[in-house]
Every structure is written in C-alpha cells, then in structure tokens.
C-alpha cells in the first residue's frame, strides 16, 4: 500500500472576502506549486457565483459536474478532470456544489465524505465569496482556512465581516455539539445587557460561564486556523496591511490569524488568464511566482510570513 492510500488528504479552503481580489488565482497557483513539488492535488471549484478555475489552466468546463454526482450517482472520481499539469486534477462544482444555498444537510455530508476519501495529498477548495452557512461550514471543516485580501478598504471591511461570521458560526456549532445550541445567539441578542461590544468581549464573557463552556471556547480558539494572504500589492508599505488585519483580529475578534504572506500585482496575470495559460508555467521565474511559493511553504508549515515584520517596521 502506498503512503497516499494510508492517510487522508489535508484540506485547505479559500473563501469569503470580496469577488475579484484573486482568490481563484491564488488557490490555483498554490495548487500548481504543490503539484510541482510532487504533491498530488485535487482542486475543487465550489464557487457557484463564478466557477472559473478551469480557465486558469486553460481547460474546458466538463460536461459532468457535481449535479451528476447527486442526480445520477456518478462516483466523484469520475467527475475529476485533468488540469494539464502533472499531479494536479480538477473537480468543477456547478449546481449542487458545496456552497449552494439550498443543498441539503445529508447531501452536503455525503459529498464531503466522498471528497475526504479522494486519493491526494492535498484537497484545495475554492468557495468563492459566499457567506451562506453551507459555504461557511465547508470552510470551517478545512484543516487550513485561507482568506485573501487586497490593500483596499472595502476588501478589508469585507474580510472582517466574513471572519466575524465564520468565527461566530464556529462558536455556535462547537457549543451545539455540547447541547448548547442557543447559548451564543441568546447572549449576542442581549449583548447590551452583558456589556458586550465585540466578538472578543463575547469570547471573554463565554470564558466566565460554567463548564464546559470555557473549555469548548478555548479549544475553538486553539484550532481556528486562519491564514491571511495579501494580494495585488503595488507598493512596499502596503505589505503592512496583512499585519494590521492580523492585529485587528486579535484585538476585536479575540482569535489568532496567521499572516502567510503577500503577492504583488503583476500585469501579466490577466494576460495569462486571457491566453488561458497557467501563470506559473508562463512565468516560472517572476517575483509573483516566487511569492506564491513562499505563501505555499508558509501554509504547508503553518507559519507566518517573517519578512514582513522587519521590512515594514
Ligand atoms: N497578483 C495579481 N496581479 C494582477 N492581477 C491579478 C492578481 N491576482 C488576481 N488578479 C486579477 O484579478 C482578477 C480577479 O481574480 P480572481 O482570482 O478571479 O478573483 P476572485 O476569485 O477573488 O473573484 C483576475 O482576472 C486576475 O487577472
Ligand atoms: Mg474566484
């Protein structure tokens, strides 16, 4: 039996924020980097609003999608298509996808069970910008949750909104599994009485309640693995945006986020997409390719981007 058969793949998901900030570009290139480094990768396009990952690799959208998985019981392996890059395969979501608003709970569970069993080292999921709880729940299931942001105030605000929703949902679901489903919504509804103004104060409040609440919240905080990637950087001082987003997360939301690195703006990115050329293949030695590699390595090792600390101060 090979090593790949013995253990489950690690799941990374990218989601939230805003459309057009580079989530699909980032995840497809991180997938490409992992594949180039001999990792077997399945990249899943679960962005209902704009399933376009196949375009980043210049391949056509397959006729069979996850709709057939549900309706015709076609095995998930049969839906996987070649990306044109060794070690990298694609699964295009379309209707019935993980982020779909109306997907039933049992369907979602079935799909996730099958996804988990795929033979790969890494399964990367592009959830798009959706904030429906189906998309958020899938995001929360990932071993690593990646968010993307660009140095623009609207994108940053959208990211905060998304992260708040994600962590709030995490608290609700973790407490629900201990029979305390209504606790967080109830406290939040009466937050003025409890003198709670933000998520961090909510967490502090929960930490003072009776067992098992403090332990459940502490473990939710501990395994909340969010990685921030800053994209479309044009000027050096903008690199600091990643660090300030991380600080805001700690100060107002009460959880730790890891700034995994930045990727600069490169005019050749849209040119490659229009030519249906994978960016890394076209520009293997560009600064952008190098930065994607750094981000991918930081994600693999679960470590922060260290250069930012001294470059920015
Ligand atoms: N680092 C970058 N430099 C230049 N353009 C970029 C970069 N990243 C993304 N883009 C451009 O931004 C557009 C949106 O990217 P995309 O990955 O589709 O965003 P999202 O998935 O967040 O909606 C793409 O057409 C691409 O050309
Ligand atoms: Mg996208």
Examine residue 163 and state whether it is found in any structural domain, yes or no: no
Q: How far is CA 132 from CA 165, 182, 270, 285, in A?
A: 10, 19, 29, 39
Token reading at 276:
């249906």
Candidate of 13, 19, 20, 124 to mutate for ligand 1, largest count of ligand atoms within 8 Å of Cβ: 20
Q: What is the pLDDT at residue 78?
A: 86
Which residue's alpha carbon is at the smallest distance from atom 26 of ligand 1? Answer: 270
Which residue's alpha carbon is at the smallest distance from atom 5 of ligand 1? Answer: 269
Taking 80 as the threshold, does the pLDDT of residue 48 lie above it? no
Report the separation in Å between the CA atom of 286 and the middle of ligand 1, taken as the mean of its atom positions: 16
Examine residue 169 and state whether it is found in any structural domain, yes or no: no
Examine residue 193 and state whether it is found in any structural domain, yes or no: no
Evaluate whether 261 touches 229 at the Cβ level (below 8 Å). yes
Report the separation in Å between the CA atom of 273 and the middle of ligand 2, taken as the mean of its atom positions: 12
Q: What is the pLDDT at residue 60?
A: 85
Higher pLDDT, 292 or 71: 292
Cα–Cα distance for residue pair 28/32, rounded to 1 Å: 6
**Ligand 1 pocket member 270 (CB < 6 A):** yes
Per-residue pLDDT averaged across 16-26, rounded? 92
Instruction: Count how many residues are written for the chain.
Output: 313
On whether the pTM is more than 0.75, the answer is yes
Taking 70 as the threshold, does the pLDDT of residue 111 lie above it? yes
Examine residue 198 and state whether it is found in any structural domain, yes or no: no
Could you say which DSSP state residue 211 is in? T
Token reading at 242:
């990643």
**Ligand 1 pocket member 269 (CB < 6 A):** yes
**Ligand 1 pocket member 21 (CB < 6 A):** yes
Which residue's alpha carbon is at the smallest distance from atom 27 of ligand 1? Answer: 270
Evaluate whether 135 touches 231 at the Cβ level (below 8 Å). no
Which residue's alpha carbon is at the smallest distance from atom 10 of ligand 1? Answer: 22
Per-residue pLDDT averaged across 308-312, rounded? 50
Per-residue pLDDT averaged across 71-94, rounded? 87
**Residue 130 pLDDT class (50, 70, 90 cuts):** confident
C-alpha closest to that of 296 among 86, 37, 21, 47: 37
Q: What is the pLDDT at residue 49?
A: 65
Taking 80 as the threshold, does the pLDDT of residue 16 lie above it? yes
Q: What is the pLDDT at residue 128?
A: 87
Helix (H, G, I), strand (E, B) or coil at 30: helix
**Ligand 1 pocket member 131 (CB < 6 A):** no
Sorted by sequence, the CB contacts under 8 Å of residue 293 that are 6+ apart come out as 33
Helix (H, G, I), strand (E, B) or coil at 32: helix
Taking 60 as the threshold, does the pLDDT of residue 95 lie above it? no
Report the separation in Å between the CA atom of 155 and the middle of ligand 2, taken as the mean of its atom positions: 14
Among 16-20, 132-136, 277-281, which range has the highest average pLDDT?
Answer: 277-281
Domain harbouring 102, CATH code: 3.40.50.300
Examine residue 22 and state whether it is found in any structural domain, yes or no: yes
**Residue 2 pLDDT class (50, 70, 90 cuts):** very low
**Ligand 1 pocket member 265 (CB < 6 A):** yes
Examine residue 270 and state whether it is found in any structural domain, yes or no: yes
Evaluate whether 57 touches 50 at the Cβ level (below 8 Å). no
Phi-psi label, residue 244: left if phi above 0, alpha if psi -120 to 50, beta otherwise: alpha
Q: What is the pLDDT at residue 98?
A: 58
Total domains present in the chain: 1
Q: Percent of the chain scored above 70 by pLDDT? A: 91
Evaluate whether 46 touches 128 at the Cβ level (below 8 Å). yes
- What's the chain's average pLDDT? 89
Candidate of 127, 270, 275 to mutate for ligand 1, largest count of ligand atoms within 8 Å of Cβ: 270
User: What is the extent of the structural domain holding 83?
Assistant: 3-151+225-312
What digits encode the pLDDT tens for the residues 222-265? 889 899 999 999 999 999 999 999 999 998 888 999 999 999 99
Examine residue 174 and state whether it is found in any structural domain, yes or no: no
Per-residue pLDDT averaged across 8-13, rounded? 93
Per-residue pLDDT averaged across 49-64, rounded? 82
User: What DSSP element (H or E) covers 155?
Assistant: helix 153-176
Token reading at 215:
């332990």
Phi and psi (nearest 5°) for 2? Answer: -80, 165
Taking 50 as the threshold, does the pLDDT of residue 1 lie above it? no
Cα–Cα distance for residue pair 256/227, rounded to 1 Å: 9
Per-residue pLDDT averaged across 128-140, rounded? 86
How buried is residue 276: exposed, middle or buried, by Cβ count under 10 Å (0-12/13-18/19+)? middle
Cα–Cα distance for residue pair 269/148, rounded to 1 Å: 16
Among 52-61, 130-139, 159-168, which range has the highest average pLDDT?
Answer: 159-168
Report the separation in Å between the CA atom of 152 and the middle of ligand 1, taken as the mean of its atom positions: 14
Examine residue 250 and state whether it is found in any structural domain, yes or no: yes
Three-state secondary structure readout of 212-236: CHHHHHHHHHHCCCEEEEEEEECCH
Q: What is the pLDDT at residue 188?
A: 95
Q: What is the pLDDT at residue 51?
A: 73
Candidate of 269, 289, 293 to mutate for ligand 1, largest count of ligand atoms within 8 Å of Cβ: 269
| Bridge partners (DSSP) listed for residue 145 | 13, 226
Per-residue pLDDT averaged across 106-131, rounded? 88
**Residue 21 pLDDT class (50, 70, 90 cuts):** very high
Higher pLDDT, 149 or 110: 149
Q: Percent of the chain scored above 90 by pLDDT? A: 68
**Ligand 1 pocket member 151 (CB < 6 A):** no
Q: What is the pLDDT at residue 100?
A: 60
Per-residue pLDDT averaged across 74-88, rounded? 91
């Amino acid at each position: 039996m090979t090593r790949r058969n013995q253990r489950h793949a690690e799941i990374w998901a990218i989601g939230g924020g805003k459309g057009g900030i580079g989530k699909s570009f980032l995840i497809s290139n991180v997938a490409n980097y992992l594949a180039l480094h001999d990792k077997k990768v399945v990249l899943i396009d679960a962005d209902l609003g704009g399933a376009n990952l196949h375009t980043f690799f210049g391949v056509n959208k397959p006729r069979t999608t996850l709709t057939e998985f549900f309706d015709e019981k076609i095995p998930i392996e049969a839906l996987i298509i070649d990306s044109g890059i060794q070690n990298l395969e694609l699964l295009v979501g379309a209707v019935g996808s993980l982020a779909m608003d109306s997907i039933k709970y049992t369907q979602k569970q079935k799909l996730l069970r099958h996804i988990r069993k795929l033979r790969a080292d890494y399964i990367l999921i592009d959830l798009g910008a959706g904030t429906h709880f189906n998309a958020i729940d899938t995001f929360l299931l990932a071993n690593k949750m990646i968010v993307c942001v660009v140095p623009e105030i609207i994108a940053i605000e959208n990211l905060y909104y998304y992260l708040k929703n994600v962590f709030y949902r995490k608290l609700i679901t973790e407490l629900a599994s201990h029979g305390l489903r209504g606790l967080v919504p109830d406290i939040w509804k009466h937050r003025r009485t409890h003198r709670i103004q933000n998520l961090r104060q909510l967490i502090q409040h929960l930490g003072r309640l009776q067992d098992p609440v403090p332990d459940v919240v502490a473990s939710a905080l501990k395994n909340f693995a969010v990685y921030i990637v800053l994209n479309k950087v044009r000027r050096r001082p903008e690199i600091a945006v990643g660090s300030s987003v991380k600080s805001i997360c700690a100060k107002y939301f009460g959880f730790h986020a890891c700034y995994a690195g930045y990727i600069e703006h490169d005019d050749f990115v849209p040119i490659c997409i229009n030519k249906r050329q994978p960016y890394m293949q076209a520009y293997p030695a560009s600064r952008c390719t190098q930065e994607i590699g750094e981000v991918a390595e930081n994600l693999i090792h679960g470590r922060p981007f260290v250069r930012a600390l001294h470059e920015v101060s």
